[in-house]
């Protein structure tokens, strides 16, 4: 008996193949959509934290309102009765548009209105709008997919792909998107991905979509606009960012950890003749160079010497010896410049988390002129590491420790002003050594300043508070500490300075009534009260 071979492909009906393909397209769509949704949450929270500080507050608010809005969207999906594929494509286009313009809208509102009601209306509007449409996605898509299998399997698959997509988005944002694209371009790119999902579904259901021409035109206009904006994102970012600063932006980049911006008022500095290349550079007001990190000023070349002389010289002069100096932060090299004035210093170890700030400040010619090439000096060794982890794990000890870190405007920085951190630094401080911490403004953030002071005392250190006026920063404060009691009147001044004198150094340790000590709590890792103290409303007046 002769039998014909069986072609298994012919035994599978074409409708089954189409169903499997559609299920795969739908599941991949929900995965991509979930990735986009989590990225939008992170973008809005990160942008608000970047512009306004207090990251825990803005991340908590964003996530809470976003989740509630998703619930609203799920509830509203009950009113979608027909043309569900059309509705899902429309949802993806709208989410792509709202998410794509989110950073541009927020930055524009901040530049025009600052952190006032119009900005918050835009922020909450975006969160509620995007969240509501994201909440529509899963119910609508589940109802589409139930035609291709049991409800039990459909729900399991949809939620599995949704959770995987959320994981992909939450990992990709800090490791890839923010690092390589920045906030503005990330929003455009992710918005375009939502439009790509709409394209995939439109092509798959082309013959069944009732408004295919309208949807195709919408995709073409919005998707094309997002793609073009992504290509031009650097120009758009620079244009918007110029509104945040009073001067020309000469360098801007997003590192893995922070936004680094250099601005200059006026023309490039004149080149210094070679014989005077190592002299102290004092910028004139008309060509003021400023460094900003995450929107906060770090120095102005017009008056930075006041800050850095006050930070460095009381600690260096009060120490019994200064063979080995540790600088935590100080990636601009300006504190190191002042330390190098002491010939008995043998080694300066500078620990800064971000290698990009080191690269910028050791290669940009105007910053190098300002810090006198200190970051390339043979006595200076640089380690790119978190300051907390370094002092926790190092086996070295130091004669002088200079803590020149950014202000504690979010939780990752607040830990560097905690009792636990100061105990660690005290452990690596040699007998007779001194430690100083920049401590924000006793005028603009009075409670925060004295909380830092109390936290250092709670760590077992003998602590003296002092302050001075830095025109670009205002009244700025520091805390000097040691294992033994310190007396300001016994601290000499034996190096050349542009501002400090013996008399002015003694005067720094006196406080007026409006900045004098307050009854405040100490700052700890588990109770970071410093964040609340730092967000003083007095900042908003200036």
- Which residues carry out catalysis? 404
CB 502 within 8 A of CB 492: yes
CA-CA-CA-CA dihedral for 413, 419, 421, 426, to nearest 10: 140
> What token pair was written down for 521?
């709590």
* Cα 197 from Cα 367, distance rounded (Å): 46
> What token pair was written down for 78?
């009950």
* Helix 182-204 vs helix 14-52: crossing angle, to nearest 10: 160
Classify residue 514 by its DSSP letter.
Answer: G
3-state SS string for 59-120: HHHHHHHHHHHHHHHHHHHHHCCCCHHHHHHHHHHHHHHHHHCHHHHHHHHHHHHCCCHHHH
> Residue 196: which H helix or E strand, with range?
helix 182-204
CB 415 within 8 A of CB 387: no
* Cα 387 from Cα 405, distance rounded (Å): 9
> What token pair was written down for 92?
């993806």
* Cα 428 from Cα 319, distance rounded (Å): 14
| 352-376 CB burial, b ≥16 within 10 A, e <16 | bbbebbbebbbebebbbbbbbbbbe
* Cα 250 from Cα 377, distance rounded (Å): 25
Give the residue from 452, 513, 456 showing the smallest Cα distance to 486: 456
Give the residue from 61, 44, 52, 53 showing the smallest Cα distance to 412: 53
| 511-521 CB burial, b ≥16 within 10 A, e <16 | beeebeeeebb
Distances (CA, A) of 240 to 107, 108, 233, 245: 7, 7, 10, 10
CA-CA-CA-CA dihedral for 177, 181, 182, 183, to nearest 10: -70
């Amino acid at each position: 008996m002769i039998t014909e071979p069986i072609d298994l492909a012919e035994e599978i009906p074409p409708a089954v193949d189409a169903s499997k393909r559609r299920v795969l397209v739908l599941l991949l769509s929900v995965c991509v959509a979930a990735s986009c949704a989590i990225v939008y949450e992170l973008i809005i929270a990160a942008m608000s934290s970047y512009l306004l500080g207090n990251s825990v507050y803005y991340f908590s608010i964003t996530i809470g309102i976003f989740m509630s809005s998703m619930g609203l969207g799920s509830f509203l999906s009950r009113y979608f009765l027909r043309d569900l594929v059309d509705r899902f494509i429309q949802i993806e286009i709208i989410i792509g548009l709202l998410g794509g313009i989110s950073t541009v809208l927020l930055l524009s509102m901040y530049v025009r209105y600052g952190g006032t009601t119009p900005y918050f209306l835009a922020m909450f509007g975006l969160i509620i709008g995007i969240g509501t449409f994201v909440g529509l996605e899963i119910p609508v898509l589940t109802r589409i997919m139930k035609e291709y299998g049991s409800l039990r399997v459909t729900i399991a698959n949809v939620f599995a792909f949704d959770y995987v997509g959320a994981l992909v988005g939450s990992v990709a944002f800090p490791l890839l998107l923010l690092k390589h694209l920045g906030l503005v371009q990330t929003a455009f790119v992710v918005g375009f991905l939502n439009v790509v999902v709409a394209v995939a579904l439109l092509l798959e259901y082309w013959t069944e979509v009732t408004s295919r021409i309208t949807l195709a035109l919408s995709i073409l206009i919005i998707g094309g606009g997002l793609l073009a904006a992504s290509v031009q994102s650097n120009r758009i970012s620079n244009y918007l960012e110029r509104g945040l600063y009073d001067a020309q932006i000469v360098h801007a980049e997003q590192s893995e950890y922070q936004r680094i911006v250099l601005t200059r008022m006026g023309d490039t500095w004149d080149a210094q003749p070679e014989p005077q290349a190592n002299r102290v550079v004092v910028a004139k007001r008309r060509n003021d160079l400023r460094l900003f990190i995450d929107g906060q000023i770090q120095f102005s070349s017009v008056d930075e010497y006041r800050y850095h002389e006050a930070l460095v010289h009381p600690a260096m002069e009060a120490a019994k010896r200064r063979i080995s100096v540790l600088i935590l932060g100080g990636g601009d090299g300006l504190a190191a410049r002042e330390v190098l004035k002491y010939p008995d210093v043998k080694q300066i170890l500078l620990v800064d988390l971000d290698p990009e700030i080191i690269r910028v400040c050791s290669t940009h010619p105007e910053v190098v002129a300002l810090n006198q090439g200190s970051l390339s000096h043979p006595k200076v060794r640089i380690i790119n590491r978190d300051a907390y982890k370094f002092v926790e794990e190092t086996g070295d000890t130091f004669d002088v420790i200079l803590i020149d870190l950014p202000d504690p405007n979010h939780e990752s920085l607040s830990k560097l002003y905690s009792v636990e951190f100061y105990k660690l630094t005290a452990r690596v401080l040699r007998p007779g050594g001194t430690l100083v911490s920049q401590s924000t403004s006793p005028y603009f953030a009075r409670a925060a300043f004295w909380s830092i002071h109390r936290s250092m005392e709670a760590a077992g250190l003998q602590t003296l508070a002092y302050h001075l006026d830095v025109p670009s920063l205002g009244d700025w404060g520091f805390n000097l500490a040691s294992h033994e009691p310190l007396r300001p009147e016994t601290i000499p001044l034996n190096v050349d300075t542009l501002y400090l004198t013996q008399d002015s150094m003694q005067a720094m340790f006196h406080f007026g009534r409006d900045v004098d000590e307050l009854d405040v709590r100490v700052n700890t890792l588990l109770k970071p009260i410093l964040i609340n103290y730092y967000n003083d409303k007095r900042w908003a007046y200036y």
